[in-house]
Amino acid sequence: MSTVYPLDPASPAAGQVRTLLQARERKLRAEVEATRTRGASDPLRVARESTDRGEEAEAEVENGINDAEVARDVAELRAIGEALARLEAGHYGQCRDCDELIDERRLAAEAFAVRCTACQGRFEQALRQRG
């Protein structure tokens, strides 16, 4: 049996999606906390303890990676929050741009997808042309 979109917030399918999104949300929050804890005491500590420029450069790279990991995770957390809001509003599985249904396979791969494949392609192409 195929899932019917947009999902009714009270349906078992919505419950499964909600559980999946909330589990991912908990995992990301733990990752963000761990990454922040790893460098939160003093982000320049490793650089100050470096004995040469190579170690200092390595510390800067590590700090940059930590910042990038947190930014990526926070962006995904925001997307999950929006997906949960769409789920509760009864719009989960509906494309933000064209209001058509998002393919079930796309949602299985990226549960917080906001656009159908065609609209996502156009969105990414527009980003490439701007940047």
In terms of pLDDT, which residue wins out, 68 or 19? Answer: 19
How many angstroms separate the CA atoms of 122 and 117, rounded? Answer: 9
Q: What is the pLDDT of residue 51?
A: 62
Length of the chain as a residue count: 131
In single-letter form, the type of residue at position 91 comes to H
Contacts 24+ apart (CB under 8 A), 73-76: 73/28, 73/31, 73/32, 73/35, 74/32, 76/24, 76/28, 76/112
Tell me what pLDDT residue 49 has: 55
Q: pTM above the 0.85 mark?
A: no
Q: In whole angstroms, what is the distance from residue 127 CA to residue 64 CA?
A: 24
Bigger pLDDT: 67 vs 115: 115
- 45 band by pLDDT with thresholds 50, 70 and 90: low
Which distant-in-sequence residues (6+ apart) come within 8 Å of 8 by Cβ? 14, 90
pLDDT-wise least confident of 2-16, 48-62, 85-99: 48-62
**Number of alpha carbons in the 13 Å side-chain half-sphere of residue 82:** 15
- 34's tokens: 């761990």
